[in-house]
Structure 1
Amino acid sequence: MQTVREVMTPDVQTISPKETVQRAAQLMDELNVGAIPVCDGDQLVGMITDRDITVRSVAAGQSPDQAFVGDVMSTDVRTCYSNQDIDEVLGTMGDVQIRRVPVIDEQSKQLVGIVSLGDLATKSSSDAAEQALDEISTPSEPDRSETRH
């Protein structure tokens, strides 16, 4: 059994919910990533993605230097444990259509890394990555009705 610990990216950069959306975007640019775990102290409280910034902040007309990460981050974050089997994590990623999952230590319950679909596809010996990618890439239904003017 191959575990998440074997393929995850450790030492992940995090951001505080009290930081500005502008700082989150700058950090994403510096790190060349599209998502950053949000931690209040040692506690994981959410994730902020480039999509959160675009859809929840910019589209709402918020000024990036006035809006806060805590106001636009996703709080319903799926996590996994570092000792968890990668096939199980891949199944979850496919089911809920996510490409990256924060990794939590089983004992301390603190963030110890992040695992992405890319990590699992390139570093694991599992064939489940292809199925997960197929499920993740299937378009989802809109979360609200569209009105055109």
Structure 2
Amino acid sequence: MTQHVRDLMTPNPVTLAPDTPVRQAARAMRDQGIGDVLVVDGDQVRGIVTDRDIVVRGLADRDDLSDCRVGDVCSDQLVTATPDEDVDTAVTRMRENAVRRIAVVEGGKPVGVLSLGDAAIDKDSLSGLADISAARSNT
């Protein structure tokens, strides 16, 4: 039986506008126990920002993050999937684009996030990645 992205994605993603301070994104990630937020302009997905993006694109180049916005550090070459798409197709796209998370969109609007960890838990529950992904957040 074909498994769809909607079966594995994390629904109701946290979304922030591009002009949101990076500190607010970091707090949202901490408070929600997640590693990413989607960047939206209105109701359309513009990008994704991860905890790693904040460090590598934000903190590494600035002494002061007070004027840094999520739009400054987000990945804007967005890879997406639809909820009804086959999981294996979405994972192949992730591999081809060397990304760990993709936005799940329906009609251009964000409805979820699919991560490699989500897929690992389902496809290979005995793998190290599945164990790490299923573990309680350390925040």
TM-score, normalised with respect to structure 1 = 0.76
The aligned residue for residue 99 of structure 2 is 98
Give the 4+ runs in structure 1 shifted more than 6 A. Answer: none
Tell me the secondary structure at the aligned position of residue 67 of structure 1: coil
Q: Distance in 2 between matches of 1:35 and 1:62?
A: 22
Aligned partners of 1:28 and 1:64: how far apart in 2?
16
Q: Bigger radius of gyration, 1 or 2?
A: 1
Query: Which residue number in structure 2 is paired with residue 40 of structure 1?
Result: 41
Aligned counterpart, 2:51: 50
Measured at CA, do residues 41 and 62 of structure 1 come closer, stay the same or move farther in structure 2, by a change above 3 Å? Answer: farther
- Listed one character per residue, the Cα deviations across residues 42-97 of structure 1 (whole Å, up to 9, x for unaligned) are 01001111122112111112522211111111100100111110111111112222
- Name the aligned partner's letter for residue 69 of structure 1: V
In the alignment, the residues of structure 2 paired with residue 78 and residue 91 of structure 1 have an alpha-carbon distance, to the nearest angstrom, of 11
Show the counterpart of 1:25: 26
> 1:65 matched to which residue of 2?
66
Q: Which has the higher strand share?
A: 2
SS of aligned partner of 1:59: helix
| Alignment partner, residue 113 of structure 1 | 112
C-alpha displacement at 1:14, in angstroms?
A: 1.0
**Pairwise CA RMSD:** 1.7
> Any gaps of 5 or more consecutive residues in structure 2?
130-139
The SS at the match of 1:54 is helix
User: Which residue of structure 1 aligns with residue 14 of structure 2?
Assistant: 13
Separation in 1, partners of 2:51, 2:121: 24
Cα distance in structure 1, aligned partners of 2:118 and 2:56: 27
Letter in 2 for 1:111: P
Secondary structure (helix, strand or coil) at the match of 1:122 reads: helix
TM-score (norm 2): 0.81
Tell me if structure 1 keeps the 8 A contact 2:45–2:108.
Answer: no
Q: Deviations over 1:106-141 (max 9, x none)?
A: xx2211111111222223xx57xx8xx7xxxxxxxx
Q: How many residues were matched structurally?
A: 125
Percent identity over the alignment?
A: 38
Flag the 1:62–1:24 CA change in 2: closer, same or farther, 3 A: farther
Ranges in structure 1 where 5+ consecutive residues have no aligned partner:
134-149
Structure 2 vs 1, CA of residues 62 and 45 (structure 1 numbering), >3 Å: closer, same or farther? Answer: farther
**Cα separation, 1, equivalents of 2:110 and 2:62:** 32
* C-alpha distance in structure 2 between counterparts of 1:111 and 1:55, whole Å: 25
